[in-house]
Structure 1
Amino acid sequence: MAGAPPRPEPAPVRRLTTITDVALAAGTLVFFVAVAQATGVHSRSQGLTPLGPWQGTIQLGLFLGALLLVRRRWPMTVLLLSVCGMFAYHALAGILSPAGWIWPVAVAYFTAATTPRVRWAAAVGVAQLVHSAIDARVILDKNLIRYVIHVAGEGLLLAALIAAGLTYAAATRRRERMREMDGRARAAEERPRVSHEVHDAVAHTLAVVGVQLNVAADALDEGDPAAAATALRLAKDVRNRAMADLRSLNTTLREDSGGTAPHPDLAGLGTLVADARAAGLEVTLDERGDPAAVPAMPAIAVYESSRSRSPTRSSTRTRAGPR
């Protein structure tokens, strides 16, 4: 059975998601620029000359923040672009900053860790961590303890982000399973009631139809065809209403709403003919008798047979009951 398509999120949830992403983007920009300037940004190519915030720092902060706006749709792409931005910031611009490598892209790592590609996210993080350790070798020459704290801190932060993402993903899957189990339990509780309604509807229909058939038989015996025709029409109306009620009740008994539509029968021939004519075919539909009087299986067979035929000229004839 095909799974049901995911339901769209309610409008309040979508608004909260948008507000959260915008807040994270703005926070990343402000926090990254503040920490980078507080710890000192220097240019390697200019003899460790201090650089202002507009000499690469704000630009990178804007880039990292803008990527977070689409992190839910393309988590791995956002992570890779964020890491590439960090590499470009430190390498291509010749910038030396002890502001860190992992934490500026912390949100991207967390988001990627919630996806099935968490191993790729971890591999990217390890590669970035190794490059961070190599890039910070200048600190190693001056202060070994600071270098160890820098590398260990980056490693612990990466591990914490991956673990947090995995935990969040597991909790989300658990909530979804619980909701699914609750839905199945409610459906299971509902089925007995619906089954009773189906039984009552069938019993009532058979009783009414049986009475009207007896009335029609007695009327024919008494030589009153008008009364017999009236009784038969009433029996047919009751049968049609009962079929509609049974189709409605049947949707509740199904596990999902994706396959609750009744199988096409003679009632769908009109749509089938219209589609064929729209495609340029010359189709003739010749109906004789009452299609509602045709049993279900022959009606379905006629529909399927008509649908499978695709000549340049098709003639579909349906005969039901007396002419």
Structure 2
Amino acid sequence: MPEAIPTLVPPPLKRGDAVAIAAPSSALRDDDSLKRGISVFESWGLEVTPQDLSARHWGYLAGSDAQRRADLDPHPTPPLLACARGGWGAARLLEHPWPWRPGWLLGFSDITALLCSRLAQGVGGGVHGPLVTTLADEPDWSQQRLQELLFDRVAPDLQGTTWVGGQAQGPLVTVNLTVASHLLGSAHLPDLKGRILVIEDVGEAPYRLDRMLTHWRLTGTLQGLAGLALGRFSGCDDPNLSADADQTFSLEQVLKERTLDLGIPVISGLPVGHGPGGNAALPMGVPAKLDADRGTLALERADQR
């Protein structure tokens, strides 16, 4: 049996709750996008703790490892810890034991490392969703989804495209494929047996995706899933495809060839991850149902847990 992943999530947010901003990855480049994201939280009635992160950097990182680790452990612990941006650097903070505290943790991309490590330690409340610097540019439906998820713990079903029919139920884990691939073999990737996995990525050539998915297959990780859903793979197709179609593989060809023989339900095209169109927030570790016959991914209602 797989290890227990908590189904209990933190209490819903309410107006007046505090939000702390963390910068655990790359240095911030756009102070305006950070401010606009904070304004969205404030429009929901949340109180954002002031912090000057725009000028803080250590090389390409948003401060030293010690500074960025301190961001993840604010005192007092806020109901919501929202990550400013992705890039690279979060996994560096996992080299030493980390006592995750209860509460909501929001982010995606490089923040996958933190979301997975937190879940692997049995702490709920992680949300794979917009960063503070991307939140204001999310379409209305995506902002509303995140707000409802944090305040009411509900969210509409997501619609995708059926690749392999069938139905699956299990705890939900959503990751950036590249970041999660570098957690394989570590204690920071939760046991994925019996889980529904959602993967997304950006800027990776088809052969690199092939290499990563093959790595997952060689470890047996993909074969142990209950179901698989693919989000957005922005900028991942081969730019030479039209000229050399017989000498390469398209993005879709690679994804299908590496996933359709797993014997589990598979859907694609979920509005999750990088790129335009919205990044649908998904909570980590909560019960979900993948209905690949209908092409839908549904979260179990909070009052059913």
TM-score (norm 2): 0.24
Higher RCO (C-alpha under 8 Å, 6+ residues apart): 2
TM-score (norm 1): 0.23
Higher Cα radius of gyration: 1
Which one has a larger percent strand, Structure 1 or Structure 2? 2
